[in-house]
Chain A
Amino acid sequence: MIQAEYYNIFVKIIDQLAVLDFLPPVWKFILASVIAALVFFHVIAIFALVAIWVERKVAGHIQDRLGPMETGWHGVLQTLADAIKLLIKEDIIAGGIDRRLFVLAPVIVFMTALAVFVVFPVGENFIVSDLNIGILYIVAISTLVVPGIIMAGWSSNNKWSLFGAMRSAAQIVSYEVPVGLAIVCAVMAAGSLSMQTIVESQAGGFWNWFIFSKFPFGFIAFFIYFVASLAEINRTPFDLPEAESEIVAGYMTEYSGMRWSFFFLAEYGNMLAVGAIATTLFLGGWQTPISLLSFIPGPVWFTAKTMFLVFVHIWLRWTLPRLRVDQLMYMCWKVLTPFAFVSIFGIGLWMTF
């Protein structure tokens, strides 16, 4: 578990602090992990605050309105005000609810969103833990969200919640297939499961990014990953589990206050996460597009690319209607999966010859 090979920026920082010399290395590691978790919790929280504001503003301008304008400059503090409101809101647990599971569910869902952030290569030397099986770790952690959502839906003792949970679980389990296959494309091209290695193998200009370098297979894989990841995180046009016009709010129907905002944080954390994964796998991670621009540090590029993908998520949400359940499954099994196999095959051929 604690290996020298796991390069950890937080461990490195803690090691250099002379004040903490009395601690044994294991404790230092634990301390570093706790700090990393806190840092990422705040990254998600702050990102969610900003992203919700951006989403509202983008939605507003797309719909010929202005969005929030009152709190702070152009309403930047609006989400903060909403967050405070949610924090001080009464914590309602309705009767007939399975209390233990009800309380546990948002924690599990949020935890999975948080845990994914460990392996993102933000910069050349900026990664919490460069796991050897980084991308596999991400796939493994993201499966954990399914029991969490089922837990939320079942414990709410509400038929709409159960519908939402069922839809969500079926959707996430199904879409793991095209997501996995699209990831395999990038892994095949890089020849490694480690996130940092995948990024490094895309060095030297944007034509070496996997989205362009193995054209068109890389592009197809990226497209499949992007679409399927939208479904994995329940965003429009695949937001059936929380489709308000059909099943009220899905598995979140009975939640309110802070517990509800945990689901919300997890949703935005997931948006950030899939954006970051797509950036790492297909858009060259922290690599600069052309060497002229290499004076801009890697983390900036990584953030910019991720934010662009998040913007596309928002943009799509305010454009498209919602699919039906059977069409969702049709798209997964009969469109995305075959094309993912085609691109795996193509990249395999490409790598061989």
Chain B
Amino acid sequence: MQSVNQYFLNIYIAIKSVLIGMSITFRHLFTKSVTVQYPRERLPIPGTSRNLLLNKIEDCIGCDQCVRVCPVNCITMDTIKVFPEDDLGLASDGSKKRLWLPRFDIDMAKCCYCGLCTYPCPTECLIMTDEYEYATYERNDLVFKFTDLDPIQIAELKEKDHIRSMEKEKKKLETAKQAAAKPGKNGGKSGEGT
């Protein structure tokens, strides 16, 4: 008898639960939809959102903190020390800029949007903007170049830097030679050998 009751009870519960489910779904037929029609309607992006990275290069002092903290190495930075005759002016926080930045590339294809690079930036020039539609057809187009120097300038600077480093090397050699010449012959020999 127990099992017979159970049999009918099961049928009753099944039909009841199906009807309850159907009534809920039927009610939802007339509720307002929660989606938006994306290209035409957009949800507002909150100010904190982390999307495309932007470097305000005129403020960047080339401190290399962002490069070091980035867990996926998506920032590449080259720096050239300023020459005595150049004056790069001040960054927004008042610190003096001491480096030329011939290269500041961010590969957004690698970026993991963690935002760690923006936190240590002393001049707050590296920020995450709310721009999120930057899909490209070429993967290379996702490498964003931020330097404000043109290629000719970069070439000149590199040439200059090369000369400077050569001179430095020379100076170093000379000082080494002089240093070597003073104490005795052994050091001098090794200096000549190089």
Contact = CB atoms under 8 A, between A and B. Distances in A.
Tell me, yes or no, whether A and B come into direct contact in the complex with CB atoms closer than 8 A. yes
Interface of A: 58, 60-66, 69, 315-316, 318-320, 335
Contacts of B22: 315-316, 319
A314 to B, nearest CB: 10
B138 to A, nearest CB: 27
Contacts of A58: 29
A62 B18 CA distance: 15
B169 to A, nearest CB: 64
B90 to A, nearest CB: 52
For the complex of A and B, 9 pairs with smallest distance between CB atoms: A319-B21, A319-B25, A65-B35, A62-B25, A61-B29, A66-B33, A64-B34, A62-B28, A319-B22
A64 B28 contact: yes
B18 A319 contact: yes
Contact of A320 (B18, B28, B29): B18
Nearest to B39: A70
A17 B22 CA distance: 51
Contacts of B18: 316, 319-320
A283 to B, nearest CB: 19
B14 to A, nearest CB: 9
A65 B21 CA distance: 18
Interface of B: 11, 18, 21-22, 24-26, 28-35, 37
A313 B30 CA distance: 18
A320 B11 CA distance: 16
Contacts of A320: 18, 21
A200 B79 CA distance: 93
A140 to B, nearest CB: 31
A177 to B, nearest CB: 18
Nearest to B11: A335
A66 B37 contact: yes
A63 B28 contact: yes
Nearest to A316: B22
B34 A65 contact: yes
Nearest to A223: B15
Among A61, A69, A316, A335, max chain B CB count under 10 A is at: A61
Contact of A64 (B11, B26, B35, B37): B35
Nearest to B30: A61
Nearest to B23: A319
A122 to B, nearest CB: 28
B31 to A, nearest CB: 6
Nearest to A334: B7
A171 B28 CA distance: 32
24 contacts: A60-B33, A61-B28, A61-B30, A61-B33, A62-B28, A62-B29, A63-B28, A64-B31, A64-B32, A64-B33, A64-B34, A64-B35, A65-B34, A65-B35, A66-B33, A66-B35, A315-B26, A316-B18, A316-B22, A319-B18, A319-B21, A319-B24, A319-B25, A320-B21
A61 B29 CA distance: 5
Nearest to A317: B25
A320 B18 CA distance: 7
Nearest to B19: A319
B37 to A, nearest CB: 6
Contacts of A315: 22, 25-26
Contacts of A69: 37
A281 to B, nearest CB: 21
Nearest to A321: B21
Contacts of A63: 28
A317 to B, nearest CB: 10
A62 B37 CA distance: 17
Given A60-B33, A319-B18, A319-B21, 11 more contacts: A58-B29, A61-B28, A61-B30, A62-B25, A62-B28, A64-B31, A64-B33, A64-B34, A65-B33, A315-B25, A320-B18
Contacts of B29: 58, 61-62
A318 B25 contact: yes
Contacts of B24: 319
A65 B28 CA distance: 10
Q: Which of B22, B26, B30, B32 has the most CB of A within 10 A?
A: B22
Most buried by B among A65, A318, A319, A320: A319
A335 B13 CA distance: 14
B12 to A, nearest CB: 12
* Residue picked from B11, B25, B33, most chain A C-beta under 10 Å: B25
Contacts of A65: 33-35
